[in-house]
Structure formats: structure tokens, C-alpha cells
Structure 1
Amino acid sequence: MIEKPLRKSRADGEQSRERLLLAAMKLFAEQGFARTSTREIALAAGANVAAISYYFGDKAGLYKAALTDFLPPPQKNIEMFDQPHFTLRQALEGYYAQLLGPLLEGEEAELCMRLWLREVLEPRGVWAEELNTGIRAEHIAFAGVLARHLGVPVDDEVHRLVHACASLGVHLMIGADVIEALTPQLLASPDALRAWIPKLAGYAEAIVLAEQEKRQKGAA
């Protein structure tokens, strides 16, 4: 007889925490950290202000959770493109699948992206932390993958190649409003978004093969 209310309480707690996170994401994305109060977040979430302290410690903890809770662990992303048996094309498709994967999450993905853009413009240290952990780890892993397929050590040209390949996908993430204004059909549905993955892999493959040809000619 004790277990049922305990399970219900735990489920209710998870729902309360999620409501606070979603409310915080919306308000922080719209107003920024400084102009958003914990009382405002609690009211929007239909929760008590004390719940913020209980689940997140303080406003700064809630802000960090709003930015990072929906991000998959870096190693999970890396595993999608860094496998020893992958061809170059498979590695590239895996890379773009993990890069664009969050966009398939709907409202949460859109809110998270808007919040990250605000964090870049009004930094509170979370962006710098993510750069030095998750993003750095994924960049290094992808550089290793490209270098392996090129048959070269990781050098500055490989790093440039990584940035060039990444930029193809990043445009969909930070320039979605431009794409929707000019060619809305290209982002009109999850299937339309998924169609970008093999296309981007093809574009990136052409860039990598061009780099390979340039190196071979230079060596000759």
C-alpha cells in the first residue's frame, strides 16, 4: 500500500520538473536570464517557487538545466558517426543525423535552439562550458574520422574541413527562419528535415574527396 503513492509521487515530480524546464526555456529564450524571475517561471509552470530550489538549486541551476537537459551525451553523438567499419558516406550520414536529430523533437528543439542563441549573445558561462566539453569532443572525433578516411594525420586542413562540413548543418539550426521564409517546403515536416541528411552527406563527401584529390596532386 505504500509503494503506489511513492510511484505516483515520483511520476508527479518528474512532470513538475519537466513543466518547470519547458516554462523556463520559453521565458529565458524570450526575455533572457536577467529579465526572467523564478516567480514568473513557477507561475507559467503551475508550480510552487520552492520547487525550483528543490529540483534545480537556484535560478542559475534551472537556466543551465534548460540549456543542457535535452542534449544527448557527446559520446552518444560520436558513436553515430565514429565507427571503424563505416564508409566515408556512412560516417557523414551519421554525423548529420546526430547534428540535426534535436530538430526533430519539435517545440522543445526550437526552444532549445533559441535559448542557445541567446546564451551566445548574452553568455552566462554555459556556452563556454559546452564548447570545452561536448562540442570539442565531437569536433576532435569527427576530425579523426575524416583524417582516417583521407589517410593523413589530423592537421589544420583537416580541422578546416571539419568546420566546413559542420557549417552545412549548422545553417539549418541557426538559419531555419531564413529557410522557412525562402523555401518553407524544405522544413515543412519531419520527413522534409530527414531528407537533408543524405543531401548534406553528399555535399560534404564532395568536399572531402576534393581535399583528398588536392593532397594527392600535391604529393605527386
Structure 2
Amino acid sequence: MPSMNPKPLQHESSPPAEDARKPRSDGEQSRERLLQAAMRLFGEQGFSKTSTREIAQAANANVAAISYYFGDKAGLYQACFTAICTPAENNIAMFDQPHFTLRESLQGYYQQMIAPLMGGEDAEVLLRLFYREMLEPTGIWQQEIENNIKPEHMALVGVLCRHLGLKKPNDSVHRLGYAIAAMCVQMMIGRDIVAVITPHMMASPQAIAEWAQHLTVFAEALVNAEKTKLQQGKA
């Protein structure tokens, strides 16, 4: 899942009196509770409709702790994305290796794509947070596109070019890359549909991993079809 390079705002301030008396481990737990509560509430209600007081109450923490750990509500919101995202270069390294076969690259690509889905109930919180940002953008979604989605897409089309024998991607390769990604995106945005029609297919991490294995086979067939078109001069 996505990487978010922007960091939460850092303000020089003293810890709230309540947290200042706590051992460091308690302070870290308080920060984690704030993050978990914020992810859930931001995802359910959106950034503008969620108050810091509401978050602090849900986390059983002092409101002043938000200022201390995150600077302000915007810093907490950004920290939520920072906490749940893997750096783009780490994701890319899972599928863009010069010695990988096509299947190995596709397996690695889908492995990093399904990672957010493997967290059970936590996956719902994470995905809802992203959907809310897409529907009510604060600027973080645009950063996500620039810092993670675009680099990963370009890395994928680079892999495809390597296996198709092309020096640089054309529109057909970009379309192929979008199609490969879309098969997995369906698992994310169509979770409610799958839960009604075939709930067993996403009922466990094992089921999700099995689905990803099938996607690898489907994607390999798409790439081979494109390769055949190129060889026949019909691209």
C-alpha cells in the first residue's frame, strides 16, 4: 500500500502534564491509541467533521496530547497515513528486479498490492480512511498519487517493457499496466460486493493470497497476449 512522504507537523512544546508523568512506554501507547482512534473516526466522518476532542475521548487520552505528539489535527491526520504506508521504493523492490521472471515480478507486484487487505478488521479501517480522503481530498491524496502511485506504475510499465522487448512504454503498455493494477483494485473497492456474492473468497488472509495467485496467472496471460500482438506487428 501507499507511501506518504510528508511528515506530521512537529511543534516544540512540553508534553501535557498528564503524559509527562508517564513512563516513555505509556507515552508511546497513548500516541498509538490516538492514531488508531483518529484513523477510525477520520475514515467514518472525514477530516473536517472530526474534532480533536472526539479523538482524544475515543483514545482515552488528554486533548493536549494531540498537540504534543502531532502538532495539530492536520498533523495527526497526516500521521495516520504515514503510519500505515510503506515507502514506494520498498514496494517497487518487491517486483522490479532485473533477474525476476515475468511471473516473479507479477507475484511480487500483487503481494505488495494485497498487503493492506491482510489485516482483517484493521484493513477496513485503513481502506475507509483512504476512500474518505479520495472523496473529501485534503491534498494528501494528490501527494499519494505523486509519491507512490505514479512511481509504482512507472516501475511496473518498466518491468513490462523489459519482458515485451520494448525500450520505452507506449500507450498500449500503460493500458496494460492499468489493467493489471485494476484487477487487484477490484479486491479493495469491491469488498462489499464480494462479501455478498462470494464471501469465502476474502474471508481470510489465505483466501486473499489465493486470489492474488490467480491474478498473477491472469496478468501473465495479458502480457503474453500483448507480446503476441507485438510479434505479429498488430500493436
* Contact 2:114–2:184 (Cα < 8 Å) also in 1: yes
Q: Give the Cα–Cα distance (whole angstroms) in 2 for the partners of residues 13 and 140 of structure 1.
A: 40
Cα-Cα RMSD: 1.6
Q: Give the Cα–Cα distance (whole angstroms) in 2 for the partners of residues 175 and 215 of structure 1.
A: 33
**In the alignment, is residue 180 of structure 1 matched against residue 195 of structure 2?**
yes
Instruction: Classify the secondary structure of the residue corresponding to 2:98.
Output: coil
Q: Deviations over 1:166-205 (max 9, x none)?
A: 0000000111111111100101111111101210000001
Q: Deviations over 1:123-166 (max 9, x none)?
A: 00000011011111111111100110111121211111110000
Greater per-residue helix proportion: 1
Q: Deviations over 1:34-89 (max 9, x none)?
A: 11100000000001111111111110111112223111111110111011111000
The 5 A counterparts of 1:1-220 are 9-152=23-166, 153-218=168-233
The TM-score normalised by the length of structure 1 is 0.93
- Gaps spanning 5+ residues in structure 2: where? 1-19
Q: Give the Cα–Cα distance (whole angstroms) in 2 for the partners of residues 140 and 155 of structure 1.
A: 12
The TM-score normalised by the length of structure 2 is 0.88
Q: Give the Cα–Cα distance (whole angstroms) in 2 for the partners of residues 138 and 46 of structure 1.
A: 38
The count of corresponding residues between Structure 1 and Structure 2 is: 214
- Gaps spanning 5+ residues in structure 1: where? 1-5
Provide runs of 4+ in structure 1 moved above 4 Å. none
Identity %: 58
Q: Give the Cα–Cα distance (whole angstroms) in 2 for the partners of residues 122 and 113 of structure 1.
A: 14
Identify the structure with bigger relative contact order (alpha carbons < 8 Å, sequence gap 6+): 2
Look up the equivalent residue of 1:40 and give its one-letter code. Answer: E
Displacement, 1:106? 2.3
* Contact 1:22–1:108 (Cα < 8 Å) also in 2: no
